[in-house]
Amino acid sequence: MSALRVLVVHNRYQRPGGEDAVAQDEAALLGRHGHAVEVYTRHNDELERMSALPAAAQTLWSTRTTKEIGALAAAFRPDLIHAHNTFPLVSPSLYWAAGRAGIPVVQTLHNFRPLCVQAMFLRHDRVCDDCLGRIPWRGVVRRCYRDSAAHSAVLAASITLHRALGTLRDKVARYIALSEFSRDKFVAGGLPASKIAVKPNFAEVDAPPDGAERRGALYVGRLSDEKGVGVLRAALDLAPGVRLEAIGDGPAREALGARVLGWLPQREVYERMRCAAYLVMPSIWYEAFPRTLVEAFASGLPVIASRIGALAELVEHGRNGLLFEPGSPQALARSLAWAEAYPDKMRGMGERARADYEARFTPERNYRQLVGIYGDAIAACGLKFTTPALRATPPQGGGEEAGA
């Protein structure tokens, strides 16, 4: 198989999260398959050394990014660029730099930042898509980003500017949405449907041992309001017999008190997943595709999740987990009580979750999907791409292009 040269671009967060892990793991996956990979990163710790005006300017257009990407393009000569997060320091100027160098861009849509200044379509702990497909002035008036009109205005200006310039419509060869739900939202927001392929996240997790004892509930992730931590705490008060461990940290840590173990090494997270009876995901926002869910499935762990966003697409009620009404502690408490009352049925759901992982979310399956999308992106730009093993099927969903 002919090797590709891939430049991976990612703006790292101050608090490491799922996007950071996905960018790292996909780059490693490509490397294991013999492709040449270079990684360009910016880190949000840089913001601590910047005053407000330069930081705002870089969010709209980063001259440093354009200069450094231009130099990398000349030195590394990539076949394509795969971008993950560009907010705020990489900025959409990346796409223009790539265009000048004649390099196709693939962009993974990890969240809804291109459509919503707050990135989650969430306001006052409720879903809000008032800005979907519109100029996001409401996000400024309502101080949707960090409760700041100034910060929100910068993001709204970036969205509006690059929509007017056609940056997202014209400068990206292919988008990767992580679920059908996410894809549909981006199409409704104005991205070209014909450019969006669906490829889920993946995880590399060994099969759980047969017959292992499983007990209690597990939560893994950031402890914050949008993740439904308040809903979980209220549900536990209604179901006092449930034993829960929480792996993670964040501003809502105190809500779960002594149950919180903090962040643990990945190996230990997987060990606890293999010992728990079920994972709880009580999110109240449109999760695009939580990597933790794939790790749970791989560990033979069924998931009790909110019926919202991609969670409702990935968890099949009664088959590989349970779904409950988002934001309802009472509904979650009933699901927890049912899970505790029927451990054998939950174990069966866990076995089906592992089967789903093996069918859909392994590294090898993900690799085939990824290089197929790369092939589509290269061909769409009129560049030579002749390796038969890497030819892709059309992006899922198809459809007519919409204006961005």
Average pLDDT value for residue range 76-90: 97
pLDDT value at residue 393:
38
Cβ–Cβ < 8 Å for 390, 156: no
**Element of type H or E holding 188:** helix 180-188
Give the separation between CA 394 and CA 164, rounded to whole angstroms.
28
**Residue for token digits 């791989």?**
298
Chain segment 134-175, per-residue pLDDT in tens: 999 999 999 999 999 999 999 999 999 999 999 999 999 999
Phi-psi region of 8 (alpha: psi -120 to 50; beta: other; left: phi over 0): beta
Q: Sheet with 36-43: list strands edge to edge.
A: 36-43, 5-12, 80-83, 105-109, 174-177, 196-198
What is the average per-residue pLDDT within 354-365? 97
Indicate if the pLDDT at residue 390 is higher than 60. Answer: no
Cα torsion 325, 326, 329, 335 to 10°: value is 50
Q: What are the Cα distances from residue 332, in Å, to 153, 304, 306, 327?
A: 37, 8, 8, 9
The larger pLDDT score, comparing residue 295 to residue 17, is at 295
Residue 18: band (very low, low, confident or very high) from pLDDT cuts 50, 70, 90: confident
pLDDT band at 73 (very low <50, low <70, confident <90, very high): very high
Report the alpha-carbon distance of residue 110 to residue 112 in Å, rounded.
7
> Burial code of 363-395, b = ≥16 C-beta within 10 A, e = fewer?
bebbbbbbbbbbbbbbbebeeebeeeebebeeb
Contact assessment for residue 6 and residue 374, using Cβ atoms and an 8 Å cutoff? yes
CATH number of 5-202+363-390: 3.40.50.2000
Q: What is the pLDDT of residues 334-344, one digit of tens each?
A: 999 999 999 99
Rounded-to-integer distance, Cα 194 and Cα 341, Å: 47
User: Is the confidence at residue 388, as pLDDT, over 50?
Assistant: no
pLDDT band at 385 (very low <50, low <70, confident <90, very high): low
CA distance 282 to 304: 8
- Topology of domain 217-360 in CATH is Rossmann fold (3.40.50)
Per DSSP bridges, beta strands 122-123 and 126-127 are antiparallel
Of 163, 164, 142, 160, whose CA–CA distance to 151 is shortest?
Answer: 142
Domain(s) of CATH 3.40.50.2000: residues in the chain: 5-202+363-390, 217-360
Return the amino acid letter for 127: V
Task: Please give the mean pLDDT across all residues of the chain.
Answer: 93
Rounded to two decimals, what is the model's pTM?
Answer: 0.92
Map residue 252 onto helix, strand or coil.
coil
CA distances from 25 to 28, 32, 42, 139, 402 (A): 5, 10, 17, 33, 32
Give the range among 228-242, 349-363, 384-398 with minimum mean pLDDT.
Answer: 384-398
What value does the mean pLDDT take over residues 71-85?
A: 97
Which tops the pLDDT comparison, 215 or 16? 215
- What's the pLDDT at 386? 46
User: Alpha-carbon distance 242 to 334, whole Å?
Assistant: 11
